Amino acid sequence: MDARFEDINNLLIRYSLGDFDYSIQPSEKYDEIDAFITNINMLGEELKTSVISRDYFNNIFNSVSDMLFVLDNKGEITSINKAVTERLRYSENQLRETSINFITGDGSRLFEYIRSMLGKNGALINLEIAFQSLEMGALPVNLSCSYLYNQKGVRIGYLIIARDLSKIKEFENSSKENEKKFRKVFEDSSDCFFITDAAGKFIELNKAGFELFKCTDSVLNKDSFFDYLYADADKDSFMQEMNDKGIVPDCKVKIKDKENATIDCLISANRIIDEFGKTRGYQGTIKNMTKQKEIENLFVRTIVDTQEKERNRIVKDLHDSLGQQLSAIKFFLGTLRNMKGKVSTEKYDELLNKSENALNEVIDELSNICFNIMPGTLQKFGLKHAIHELCNKIKHSNIIDFRTDISPDFPELDKNLEVTLFRIVQEFINNALKHGGADRVNIKMVSDPGEGKLFIVLKDTGQGFDMKKMEEFKGNGLKNVKSRIESYSGLVKISSIVGTGTMYEIMIPYKDYMPK
C-alpha cells in the first residue's frame, strides 16, 4: 500500500484531536493521491481559521459583562455566556434546551411577547423585567433582543442581551438618600446656602438665606445675588477673584437685605462650570457675622473689664496695706527726727525698731502683691514650683491645709498655658477660702506622655454649691474657667455638692503647647 495513505490517516487523526498546525508535503508524482493530500491540507487551514474565529468569538461572548442568551426559533436556550452563570447561578447544562420563559420564575410568556414585539424591525430594546436567580431571588434586568440569521439570510434564532439593574437600582437609591441628606443639610444649616445661574440670579436658596435677605421664594430666578451686595466694589472684587481663581474663600462683604439693613457677612463661593469649561453659575455659603461681631466685642470688653478690675485690685492692695504702713513709717521717722537728743537711747532705739519692722512688713506685702500679679518662680522655674510656692505661702498662715500630688515628670509647658493654669489653681484656692470655707484643698497634676495629655484635679472640702443652679450663677468665674481651658483644646468638668465641696477635673492635650 502507498505509504502516503498512512500519512493521510495520521494527519486526519491529528485534525480529529483539534491539532491543525500540521500538513503533508505532496510527492513529485502529482497523481490523484497528491491532489487529495493538497485538498486535505487546505481543509486543515480552513479548520484552523474556523477554530481561531470561534475561540475569538467565545472570548468576546464570555467577556461581555451583560448576560447573553442565544435562543433557537422555538425560544429554547442553546447557549449562554459566563455572565449568566455568575448572575443567575445556573449552569449551561441546566438551561440548555430550556425555554427562556423558565428564568422569569413566574410562568410568564416572555418568549411569546418578544416574538410579537420584534415584528418586522427585528429589534426590541429597553424591556424591564425580573429574572429569577437561584441565590439572589428576583433580579431586575433590562432586555434587548434581535433576530439571528445564518450566512444565507435564514433566521435561525434570537439573541437576548440582559443588563443587571440591581447595582443601578442600588446606586439610584443611594443617590436619592444622599440627595435627601444633602437637602436636609442644605435646609437646616444656620448659614445661607445659595446657587445661582451665570448672571447671578438665585436658583436655590435655603431657609437661612431667605431669613438673611428678608425675602421670599419669589426672588428665585428673578433677583440677582449681586443686587444684595452693599458696595459695588465688593461685586467687582468678588468677580475678579472668581474669574482669576474660580473660587472665593472667606470674602468679607456687607449685605443689604430687602429692608435696606446692612449686615456684615463672610462669603465663600465657587464657580459652576460645564464640561466645556463654560461658567454656568455660582454656589456658596454666606455667614452672618453680626453675632460673631457681638461675641468679639464682648470678648474685648471682657478683657478690658478684667484688666480694669486687676488694676483696681492692685491699687486697693497698695492703698489699704502699703499706704497705711508707709504712712506709719513716715510718722516714726518724723518722730525720730524731732526726738533726737531729747529722749533716752532706749526710747529712741524702740522707735527705730518699730520703723524697721514696719519697713520689713512693707517689703513682705510688696512681695505678696508682686507674687499675686506674676510669681517670679513661675517665670523662672515653671508651673510645678509656682504651685508649691503658692501652697506654702498660704499654708504658713495656718488657715488651710494642702495636699499636693504633682508628678515628677509633669511636662514643662508654654508660658502662656502655665500662667493660665496657675491662675485657675489660684482662683480655685481663693474661692475655697473666701466662699467655700474649706479647710483642705487637694491638688493633683499628672501627665500621660503616650496620649500626650495632662490632667489636673482640684478638690476642696468647702460648702460647695447647687449644680442645678449653675445657669442662674451671676458671676463669670466658672464660665471663664471653661473658656480658658477650651481655648487650649481642653476639657473641664466642674462638679459640686452642697456641704461636701467642689472639684475641677481638667484635661489638656499638651503636645502642641510645649516650649519651642
- Give per-residue pLDDT as tens, 416-430: 888 889 888 988 988
Query: Is the pLDDT reported for residue 54 higher than 70?
Result: no
Query: Is the pLDDT reported for residue 177 higher than 90?
Result: no
- Confidence (pLDDT) at 398: 63
Whole-model pTM?
A: 0.40
DSSP structural state of residue 105: S
* Higher per-residue pLDDT: 43 or 474: 43
139 touches 128 (CB < 8 A): no
With vertex at residue 173, the alpha carbon angle to CA 170 and CA 176, rounded to the nearest 5 degrees, is 150
β partners of residue 401: 440
pLDDT in tens, 212-253: 999 998 989 899 988 898 888 888 888 888 888 889 888 888
Binned at pLDDT 50, 70 and 90, residue 323 comes out as low
One-letter amino acid for residue 332 of the chain:
F
Query: Is the pLDDT reported for residue 273 higher than 70?
Result: yes
- Confidence (pLDDT) at 416: 83
d(CA 122, CA 489) in angstroms, rounded, equals 72
* Higher per-residue pLDDT: 486 or 213: 213
One-letter amino acid for residue 2 of the chain:
D
* Interval 261-268 mean pLDDT: 89
Query: Is the pLDDT reported for residue 115 higher than 50?
Result: yes
Binned at pLDDT 50, 70 and 90, residue 15 comes out as low
Question: Judging by DSSP bridges, how do beta strands 453-460 and 262-273 pair with one another?
Answer: unpaired
- Confidence (pLDDT) at 443: 94
pLDDT in tens, 381-422: 788 888 888 888 777 666 788 899 999 889 988 888 888 898
Q: Which three cell numbers stand for residue 5?
A: 495513505
DSSP E strands: which ranges in 165-292?
192-197, 202-205, 247-256, 262-273, 279-288
- Confidence (pLDDT) at 298: 61
84 touches 68 (CB < 8 A): yes
- Confidence (pLDDT) at 285: 93
d(CA 306, CA 423) in angstroms, rounded, equals 13
Query: Is the pLDDT reported for residue 480 higher than 50?
Result: yes
H-type alpha helices, 17-96: 32-63, 82-88, 92-95
Q: For the packed helices 415-434 and 477-486, what is the interaxial angle rounded to 10 degrees?
A: 160
- Confidence (pLDDT) at 508: 93
β partners of residue 301: none
d(CA 88, CA 66) in angstroms, rounded, equals 12
Binned at pLDDT 50, 70 and 90, residue 301 comes out as low
Looking at every residue in the chain, the average pLDDT score rounds to: 80
* Higher per-residue pLDDT: 43 or 286: 286
pLDDT in tens, 129-175: 889 888 778 888 988 888 888 878 888 889 888 888 887 776 666 66
Binned at pLDDT 50, 70 and 90, residue 446 comes out as very high
* Interval 370-375 mean pLDDT: 58
Q: How many CB atoms lie within 10 A of CB 63?
A: 10
Query: Is the pLDDT reported for residue 474 higher than 50?
Result: no
* Interval 369-391 mean pLDDT: 74
Q: Which residue has the cell 475561540?
A: 55
Exposed, middle or buried by CB within 10 Å (0-12, 13-18, 19+), for 349? exposed
* Interval 340-366 mean pLDDT: 70
* Interval 173-191 mean pLDDT: 77
One-letter amino acid for residue 513 of the chain:
Y
Query: Is the pLDDT reported for residue 364 higher than 60?
Result: yes
DSSP structural state of residue 193: E
β partners of residue 147: 158
What share of the chain has pLDDT > 90, as a percent? 16
End-to-end CA distance of the chain: 104
d(CA 318, CA 327) in angstroms, rounded, equals 12
Contacts of 82 (CB under 8 A, 6+ apart): 62, 63
d(CA 286, CA 501) in angstroms, rounded, equals 47
202 touches 194 (CB < 8 A): yes
Binned at pLDDT 50, 70 and 90, residue 76 comes out as very high
DSSP E strands: which ranges in 434-500?
440-448, 453-460, 491-497
